[in-house]
Every structure is written in structure tokens, then in C-alpha cells.
Amino acid sequence: MIFEVMTKYDYEQLVFCQDKNSGLKAIIAIHDTTLGPALGGCRMWNYQTEEEAITDALRLARGMTYKNAAAGLNLGGGKSVIIGDPKKDKSEELFRAFGRFIQGLNGRYITAEDVGTTVEDMDLIYMETKYVTGVSPAFGSSGNPSPVTAYGVYRGMKATAKVAFGDDSLKGKTVAVQGVGNVAYNLCKYLHEEGAQLIVTDINPDSVKRAVQEFGAQAVNPNEIYDVDCDIFAPCALGAVVNDETIERFKCKVIAGAANNQLKEDRHGDMLEQKGIVYAPDYVINAGGVINVADELYGYNRERAMKKVEGIYDTILKVFEISERDGIPSYKAADRMAEERIESVRKSRSTFLSNERSILHFDHR
């Protein structure tokens, strides 16, 4: 069954990591390295079954191939998951053991934060491997990617508003935010500063309370967020929230948020289009974090990174241009843009290039 899925979507490698001493059970999925080493975060989550963890790792890794390609990065797509409760199961041994598995891949996979992992966890991984980003700024690194992801989502939301409402101002717009965690808290700050009205929800009452107190947000129960009257729905928790059930309920004109894999299936992107909801493809709008951590690989320069993140505005506009030009929904337009880049690089890479393993270096004459 696993090879069937890997073949269907062309995955290169799936690595299972087990370490009895620390209790580590992790999966590293490498989807495609045509553009460069696979970069993508590490999620720690209390998966109920191994299948759920494998499926999540695979889906997230493929998303990173498209995200990195669409963002113009010289990086392929990969992602990892650690099976466990981030509130109870973290330890130095666990992350160091995980770091050693990453080191074993010799640079084919580079990790970073995702849901359930922090800068401190990355610092532990860094004790064992240099193939980790989002490490503490004290190491010359870029630190927590979430605020930068939020800035990119904010920029992408403005561009999507321009397409949907003819004006990119978010002043007076009502934005319903699902999940006010690391990314969305920072996103709410930008939205509040611009004068947007916020409706928020989270399964963590403390996060909701903070958004209500700091941004005057209106709070609703997690299951009510799909029904609220709003201009923009911003999914910023987990994936698959755009599905048969929720599409019927949405009253928004725009969907633009940070969560990965927002569409449960591709056909839900078609359904949004039919309903007249303008959808900002998830992996384009939420690329700020990866653009920021990827800059570390050149020697981190915050100004350069932020300039690139700002460009998410133009990338989103480009996606909608392709969508209009080719008469396809926005999610397909984003896929087309990413796939075209990967294909053109794949073709130009078929040209011979000498390296230490090539025949030119086995000179016995």
C-alpha cells in the first residue's frame, strides 16, 4: 500500500526512525529533490494510528515540494513527523536521536519547526546535525519562523482581497480566524493594526482569551467558525478544513490562511471556485516561514529574507493571473506554476556536470 501511494505521487523516500532509549518514533518523508535538498518542518503530534502519521508526513512533504518551487527556492520538498504528545513526550534524548537520523541522510533533508515543535527543540537537533534551520538567533540563525509566516499570510491576504474586492485594504473587513496559535496570533496583530474586525476560535481557551483582550476579537466556539458572517475565512489550525461539509456553510468571499493542506481533496478547490469563493492556495500564501529559514543556508540576512517574503503579494497575484488566463481554479494555477518550474529545472539538469563521482575523476590511464 505504501509503495502504491509513493508511486502515485512520485515520492523519493520514506524513512522510519526508531530509538528505544528516547522513545523516538518518527517518519521523514522526502517527496522530490529536483530543485535541491528537501526542506520542511518537523511536526510533533499525538497521532492515533501509524497510518495517520504516515499519511500526514506524505501529504505535508508533497506540499513542501510545491511550496518551495512556487516560492522560487532552490529546495525540494520534505517533512517529518514525530509521534508523541508535544506537551508530555519531549526530551533532550528524543530530539538528539532525531537529529542523528537527519544527519544520516547527509543533507537530503533539512528540518525546521512545525506544529508542536519549537526553537528550543531545533537547538537540540542542532547538537547532532547542521541540517536544521529555525535554530536560536544566538547561533546566527533566524529563530522562530511563525511571525514571518504571519507576515507572508498578511501580504498574501491583501493581494487576495485586491482580486476579490478590487482593493487590497483590509480596513473594516471581517476576518474569521480558525486557530490563534503561533502564526495566527501574529497575523491577528497585523490585521488589527490595519483596522480589520476579528472573529476567532481555538480549542485552547487561553489563546482565545489573549486575542479577545489584545485585539478586541469576538470569540466563537470551534465548530461555529464555519458559519459566521465574514469577508475572509483564515484557516490557521490544521488541514482538510475545506471539505464537503464546510463548503456548504461558508459565508465568506475569500479563504486565505496559514494552515497546510487546507483542501481535503483537490475537488474541493473546484467547489470553492463554483461557489465564487476566492481561494489563496495554501502553500503559496504560507511560504513566509520557509523563505525565512531557507535564507539561513546563505548566511541569514533578515532584510533580504523579509523582502522575499513581501513578494508573496506578487506571487499570489501571479497565481490569479494564471487562473484567469488558463480558465482554471486558483489551486490548479498554483500547481501549474510550481510544476512548470520543477520540470524546466529537471530538464536543464539532465546536462552532464562533472563532480567527484563522475567518470572523469576515475582516471587510471
Ligand X SMILES: NC(=O)C1=CN([C@@H]2O[C@H](COP(=O)(O)OP(=O)(O)OC[C@H]3O[C@@H](n4cnc5c(N)ncnc54)[C@H](O)[C@@H]3O)[C@@H](O)[C@H]2O)C=CC1
Task: Give the residue ranges of the annotated binding site for NAD(+).
Answer: 179-184
Residues 104-143, one symbol each (x = binds ligand X by CB under 6 A, - = not), give ---------xxx----------------------------
Q: Give, in order, the Cα–Cα distances in Å from 167 to each of 10, 21, 39.
A: 40, 56, 35
- Toward ligand X, which CB reaches closer, 103 or 243? 243
Contact 71, 287 (CB under 8 A): yes
**Binding of ligand X by 295 (CB under 6 A):** no
Out of ligand X, ligand COI, none, what residue 40 binds, judged by CB under 5 to 8 A for its kind, is ligand COI
Task: Please identify which residue in 61, 191, 258, 316 interacts with ligand X, judged by CB under 6 A.
Answer: 258
> Which long-range contacts does 19-22 make (Cβ < 8 Å, 24+ apart)?
19/93, 19/94, 19/97, 21/93, 21/97, 22/91, 22/93, 22/94, 22/96, 22/97
Task: Please identify which residue in 74, 169, 204, 344 interacts with ligand X, judged by CB under 6 A.
Answer: 204
**Binding of ligand COI by 329 (CB under 6 A):** no
Q: Minimum CB separation from ligand X for residue 183, in Å?
A: 4
Determine the size of the site formed for ligand X (CB under 6 A). Answer: 27
Sign of the Cα pseudo-torsion (72, 75, 77, 79, in order): negative
Contact 286, 258 (CB under 8 A): yes
Site for ligand COI in 90-119 (CB under 6 A): 112-114
Q: Which residues contact 189 (CB under 8 A, 6 or more apart)?
A: 150, 214, 215
Of all helices (H) and strands (E), which one includes residue 43? Answer: strand 42-45
**Binding of ligand X by 182 (CB under 6 A):** yes
Identify whether 173 is a catalytic site residue. Answer: no
- Toward ligand COI, which CB reaches closer, 78 or 329? 78
CB atoms within 10 A of CB 252: 21
One-letter amino acid at 101 equals F
- Toward ligand COI, which CB reaches closer, 55 or 174? 55
**Binding of ligand X by 281 (CB under 6 A):** no
One-letter-per-residue 3-state SS of 214-273: HHCCEECCHHHHHHCCCCEEEECCCCCCECHHHHHHCCCCEECCCCCCCECCHHHHHHHH
**Binding of ligand COI by 235 (CB under 6 A):** no
Q: Which of 25, 79, 253, 332 is catalytic?
A: 79
Cα–Cα distance measured from residue 286 to residue 175, given in angstroms and rounded to the nearest whole number = 17
**Binding of ligand COI by 134 (CB under 6 A):** yes
Q: Which residue is nearest to ligand X (CB)?
A: 181
**Binding of ligand X by 74 (CB under 6 A):** no
Cα–Cα distance measured from residue 200 to residue 317, given in angstroms and rounded to the nearest whole number = 27
Enzyme catalytic residues: 79
Binding site for ligand COI (CB under 6 A): 40-41, 67, 79, 112-114, 134, 145, 260, 286, 289-290, 293
Binding site for ligand X (CB under 6 A): 113-115, 145-146, 149, 178-184, 201-204, 207, 222, 236-238, 258-260, 286, 289
